[in-house]
Structure 1
């Protein structure tokens, strides 16, 4: 197994065992698809030999592509940033250094100059030093997450970065709408669908998908796509919040071919630790994996 190389809100590390034990073994599937990639916890856990990873967040996927091909440079430059940050003795001075780098990143994003590698270096730096690994932007598209008090040093995650880099060598990386896979997936492929969760809670900070958002119609598109891929002979798993349960149950044909189970998975978005378990506290797994078709826990929940 390998760990995700980025901290990413809504990641699946807390329920990774529940997910991977309900997926077919690697010998039973061909290509692996993950069109809502984010932090890619399932991908890094499975380490598939032939993968197609995608996310609508172009900045995120650009980072993975550059990281895939420029590991040593990105690590070396991040160590230099750590050294520069650690020269400051006060938290205020460290914050000023952070906000200067954040401003530089946003200027690069806004096209003041072309330096993709510098963007990738700063992307990793900001991910390590910002609050909870959030990627949040304002109306102008500028990254605006504040700094956390205790940063994660490059040296402490270097081995994780190197292991993740190895896994990425077997992946084709894209940034487009998730429905592109309908034209790509074939019989025997494995698809893991982790769309932005349906939630009535204050999840807007990590539940953003694109400018148009990800409403109920888009959730139905995910469900319908999963059913199409099932009929094509692919293995499919969806994760979502328990608030999506009725959406899946409302389609009789879907429920004839998929099983559903509930999981507890506290989220850690809120800055108030006492409130963190109230965001995304309950997940569901929906899958057509045949070896779990008769599992008692799935049948009981259905």
Structure 2
């Protein structure tokens, strides 16, 4: 990946906890210079696309534990025209939605799998990504006036940005194997829930519980010891503040877009934590 600014690409997927509304705050805190960028919970990739659009990324490593999400990025990087063609086969229609949701991803080609995820994401309820214990996408059909299922210009712009990027399905802890001093890591994990009914940790079948949060803190600390700068977002909860005591913690306010009740979508406090 070169250092020249690309066509401005936006996130291809809506993602619970996506960072579009916080980009000015995040960009202001990213180090001015870094040799490589790592995002082990890539999600919608808002910060990655913003930094790439500014020409600030020399080398990037994007990963996630969610196989369907990684399929999208791999297919966009390697076969964007095939993804666009596959999206052309989908329509915003309830019966079609449930037929597509019921498809077995392993029976599809990579571009078809990516198109399935993008289609479901654009037409499901609230743009949620949620899997049951069997790894099956289980979000119901959403109500929209005229959703854009295939944004061809943005898909091609995203593909251009993703050329040369290392994309893989892997657990966040593996970042310790390849992040080097002078690199920058941004963690945007599933947040520690603020209440029993505000738990969005089922982004894949394995979930993300307190033990995972503790392991993530250990990885964050190990990166600091290694001389790798890292920044992490999470909910503003005593559990999280206790985990990261000793690191630089800031409170930010972000608009919450995913909530079953409209009056629960206002600005809420969250934490931004740096090891530098």
TM-score interval, smaller chain: 0.7 to 0.9
> Which residue does 2:43 correspond to in 1?
38
Cα offsets for 1:223-267 (capped at 9, x unmatched): 222222112221110111111112212xxxxx2xx3111011132
Q: 1:209 to 1:135 in 2, by over 3 A?
A: closer
Cα offsets for 1:90-120 (capped at 9, x unmatched): xxxx21122122223xxx23x4x35333222
Q: Secondary structure of 1:173's match? A: strand
> Which residue does 2:3 correspond to in 1?
none
8 A contact 2:118–2:149 mirrored in 1: no
* Aligned counterparts of 1:40 and 1:117: Cα–Cα separation in 2: 19
* Aligned counterparts of 1:68 and 1:158: Cα–Cα separation in 2: 14
8 A contact 1:56–1:209 mirrored in 2: no
Q: What is the TM-score normalised by the length of structure 2?
A: 0.87
> Which residue does 1:99 correspond to in 2?
98
Q: What is the TM-score normalised by the length of structure 1?
A: 0.80
* Aligned counterparts of 1:131 and 1:49: Cα–Cα separation in 2: 37
Larger fraction in helix: 1
8 A contact 1:4–1:39 mirrored in 2: yes
Cα offsets for 1:159-213 (capped at 9, x unmatched): 2222211111131111111111111111100000112111232233x22255453
Q: Kindly state the Cα deviation for residue 23 of structure 1 after the two structures are TM-superposed.
A: 0.6
> Which residue does 1:297 correspond to in 2?
none
Q: 1:15 to 1:70 in 2, by over 3 A?
A: same
8 A contact 1:31–1:189 mirrored in 2: yes
> Which residue does 1:89 correspond to in 2?
none
> Which residue does 1:3 correspond to in 2?
10
Larger Rg: 1
Q: Secondary structure of 1:7's match? A: coil
8 A contact 2:134–2:205 mirrored in 1: no
1:230 aligns with 2:228: no
> Which residue does 2:5 correspond to in 1?
none
> Which residue does 1:203 correspond to in 2?
198
Q: In structure 1, list runs of 5 or more residues that go unmatched.
A: 86-93, 250-254, 290-302
Q: 1:209 to 1:114 in 2, by over 3 A?
A: closer
Which of residues 102, 106, 115 in structure 1 aligns to 2:109?
A: 115
Say how many residue pairs are matched: 261
Q: 1:154 to 1:200 in 2, by over 3 A?
A: closer
> Which residue does 1:69 correspond to in 2?
78
